[in-house]
Structures are given as structure tokens and as C-alpha cells.
Copies of this chain bind each other. A is one copy, B any other.
Amino acid sequence: MHPLKQLMNPASLAFWGASNNPMKMGTIQLTNVLETGYHGEVFPIHPTESTVLGLPAYKSIMDVGRPVDLAQLTLPTDVVPGVLEECGRAGIRSAIVISGGFKEAEGAEGKRLEREILEIAHGYGIRFLGPNCVGVFNSLCNLNSTTIPRPPGGGKIALASQSGAYTAMINPFLRSEGIKICQTLSVGNEADIDLTDCLDYLREEPEVRAVGLYVETVRRPLEFIEAARRIVREKPVIAVYVGGTEAGSRSALSHTGALSGPDAVYEGLFRQAGVIRADDIDEMLDFLRALAAQPLPPGRRMAVITNSGGPGTSLAYHVEKEGMIVPPFSEGLCERLDAITGRFAFVRNPIDLTFEVDLSIFKRLLEIVFESGEVDGAFIYGIFGWADFMTNLEKRFPGIEQMRESWESAYEGFLEELAAVPRAHGKPLFVTSFIDAGGSSLRTLIEGDVPVFPSASRAARAMRALLDYRLIHEREGQ
């Protein structure tokens, strides 16, 4: 069993650094552990308090009197070695060291302390995350040991990061975008467990369908490439690398003691490893939600279906700019589309339905287009959701609210059916829309695993990532 399996799925957790003072980082973390509904047992360790957050507190791990799977240490730097030693004596074999002040700090003392805790861990067979990290999240056992309330759970995306911010502070952003997360691992200074270990662990996690990495350095390049090539046979890996400029490199060194390298070196490393590079965290999340949700396109021919000319043109442009094509449809396919729409002479690919159209038509058009064999994937720009059109109308037309509700519910039915089409045909569908971004219509699509992007360029780049991964997957021979 991979050592991270126990660390990420502990039956019990001993916690150092939480008290009854809500302004302490450890207290905020343990509060989140409890409020997230962690499935296991929790043992707060505190030198003076008899209870912490309503739980019985123990003076020492030795007083707990039964085996404990995981220790989290949110403690001043200088007491970490002693507590880790105690953990070892108590039989704990997994730890998360939140504390900073180790290798990333200036001067020799931090580096010495980091070597010391690594030696202690080796002596007892303890594997640990950190130091200088923010904790973990695992939706499978509701473990959230960070300071931030959990991200939306139930997803197929895992994040492993040399930045804590990008695994926890990011949660409000994930909520607002509707991006569901399965597991997050903040690796900090990587004294012991590093991103390479995370790749090996996440490969074996069946719920995880796509992995995102935030990288300031790769500490074991050869092992990283090997681990990456193993995992990308089964699931895609997307990485953000920001160490490759003078200031980026200087910043990374002080952040996690990372020795970064030139951008081109990492570009080559990722390419060799079969890892797809994203420009920044937002693009990484675009790629991940697309890869985790949609089938891979068998080729690069794309359909564009729109009910608004500008977004349709934008999609056509960006899809081609990203190396795909938007082929004109054959005469036969056009005739079948005309039979559905009852209209003629509207352009075929993009299909522009213009303003007034029965919105259920999207699903029927998409099915015919996919069945034709003339495309490998599709984009829809849709004016989805009635809410905005109705806002002012409802003030003038009493009763329209009821109509709206019945339309919206019918419309959500159409969208559920639409969302089922890609998987039935083994071809991906992305949606772009400005309308009703946080509204129920788009939520229906997102729940149905159809990614919704606000712009054509973001949707096109995400489709390109699917194509890139298909090539990687073929190359790695699975």
C-alpha cells in the first residue's frame, strides 16, 4: 500500500496546535476537521487544556492509549522534532507538519532542523507531508485539515501543490466556479513526500480522473518522469510551473526552498513526462474540469452550434487557432439538420440558430452532428437560462413568473438530456455562455459533467488539452 493511502485515509488523527483560542491556526484547522465531518476519531494533544473544541484533550500522545494513524503538527518550529519523536514512539507512521521556519527560512538553523525531522522520521518509518504546508483534503473520508472550508466535493480532480494557497485558499474560487475536488495535497518543502510520490499515490486512486500540479521545482527529475509516465497511461496530469524567470526563481527559493530551473528545461521535462503544461492555475482548472468530465475527441474536427453570431464566430476562430478545424458539413448532413430546424440556408458549421429558437433543438442537432461521423467533438454557445430576460418583464407582467418556472424546469430537462449526449457518442461537448453564469441552467450542465466556460478562447484551449492528452495516452501505449 502506498504510504499516502494511510495518510490521506486515516482512521484516526492526533492533532497538535489546536486550543480553544479561535485565533490560532491550529484551532481553525481542527474546527474544519470537525465541521467537515471527518469520518475518523480525533485526539487533540494539548499541554494544559482538558478539552479542545469539546473533545477530550491529551497531555501527550502517550496518554491516548491506542494506535493512531495520522499526526498533524501545527506547532512552533523548535518543538516539532520532539513531538515527531513522540509520534514515532507512539507508533504513528503518517504525519503532516504544518509548521514553517525550516529549509525555506534564511540561515542554517532551519535547514538543520529540517534534516533533523527527516532523520527522526526515517528512524521510525514515518512518512510525512511538509514542513511548511497547509494540510490536506480528502472528500472520500471528509478529512479537511486546512484553515479553509472544504471545496465542493464529489469531484474527480486531485491537486498536489508546492503552494498551500493553491490547494486551500483557492476553495472560494472553486465554489464560485462549480469545480468539484476529490483530494488535495499540500506538499510544502517536500522534506519527505514530494510531488513524485503524490503521482504514484494518485495513480492508484480510482475516483481521481485528472491530476493538477503546482510546481516550483521538481526535486527528483528522473523519478518524476517515470512516475508521470506511469500515471498518464491512466489519467492526465496538468502542471503549472512558475520558477523559470529570475524573480520567479528567487521567490520559489524563499517560499519552499525550491531550486527551480530555466523555463525551457521544465518545458522539456514535462513534455518527456507526458505532463500537459498550463499557463496558470485558472487554466489548469479549465483543463482539469474538461479532462475529468468529457470523453476524449477521436480527432480534431469540431462542430460549433450557437444561437448568437459573435460567440459562434469567436468559437470558430479560437478552435482553429488551437489547431483544430471547423469543417463545413456535407450536403447530406445539412439536409438532415434542415429537417430538424425546418429552416434552410443557415450556415453549416458554425450552425447559427439566431435569437428565436426552441431550445430543445440543441440536443437533437448535437445527436445528428455526432452520428454523422463528420466531427469529433462539439462546442455550444447557448443563451441558457431565462432569468435575465425575465427580470424586468416580471415587473410588468404579473403571472409571468409562473410561466418562467415551468419553462425553466422543462428547460433543465432539455439540458439534462443534452448533457448525456457526449458520453453516449464518445465525443466531447463544451459549452460557453455569459448568461446566467451562477444560475440553475448552467448548474444543470455542470452537474451533468459538461464544462461551461465564459469565453471561446478558454473553451478552445481546454479542448486542445483533451487532444494533447489523447496523443500522450497513445504514445504511452495504453
Contact = CB atoms under 8 A, between A and B. Distances in A.
Interface of A: 22, 25, 27-28, 31-32, 34-36, 53-54, 100, 104-107, 147-149, 161-166, 169-173, 176, 214, 216, 240, 242-248, 250-252, 254-256, 279-283, 304, 308-314, 316-321, 325-326, 328, 345-347, 349-350, 352, 354-356, 381, 383, 387-389, 391-393, 395-397, 400, 434-438, 454-458
Contact of A435 (B169, B240, B320): B169
A149 B22 CA distance: 44
A404 to B, nearest CB: 10
Contacts of A248: 313-314, 316-317, 320
Given A254-B352, A345-B106, A388-B149, A457 B320 contact: no
Given A256-B309, A313-B163, A173 B243 contact: no
Nearest to A346: B254
Given A35-B392, A317-B244, A311 B165 contact: yes
A316 B383 contact: no
A217 to B, nearest CB: 10
B310 A350 contact: no
A164 B392 CA distance: 19
Contact of A312 (B35, B255, B320, B389): B255
8 contacts: A149-B391, A169-B434, A176-B437, A242-B313, A251-B317, A251-B350, A254-B352, A282-B458
Contact of A308 (B165, B310, B389, B434): B165
A320 B249 CA distance: 11
A314 B165 CA distance: 11
A105 B256 CA distance: 60
A455 B282 CA distance: 6
Contacts of A458: 280, 282
A100 B352 CA distance: 13
B31 A318 contact: no
B245 A317 contact: yes
10 closest A-B pairs by CB: A163-B310, A255-B309, A248-B317, A247-B326, A242-B317, A247-B316, A280-B457, A245-B320, A165-B308, A35-B392
Given A280-B314, A282-B455, 5 more contacts: A106-B345, A247-B320, A247-B350, A251-B304, A255-B352
B251 A435 contact: no
Nearest to A282: B455
A169 B454 contact: no
A318 B263 CA distance: 12
A173 B454 contact: yes
Contacts of A163: 308-311, 313-314
B393 A455 contact: no
A345 B105 CA distance: 8
Contact of A255 (B161, B169, B310): B310
A415 B389 CA distance: 35
A417 B33 CA distance: 36
A352 B247 CA distance: 13
B457 A283 contact: yes
Nearest to A98: B355
B317 A32 contact: no
Contact of A214 (B22, B172, B310, B328): B310
Contact of A321 (B170, B245, B454): B245
Contact of A356 (B25, B240, B312, B313): B25
Contacts of A282: 454-455, 457-458
Contacts of A22: 393, 396-397, 400
A434 B389 contact: no
Given A166-B310, A242-B318, A251-B309, A107 B172 contact: no
A149 B147 CA distance: 39
Given A35-B395, A148-B389, A309-B256, A316 B245 contact: yes
A281 B173 contact: no
B254 A437 contact: no
Nearest to A397: B22
A252 B396 CA distance: 36
Nearest to A32: B392
A138 B391 CA distance: 19
A147 B31 CA distance: 47
A128 to B, nearest CB: 19
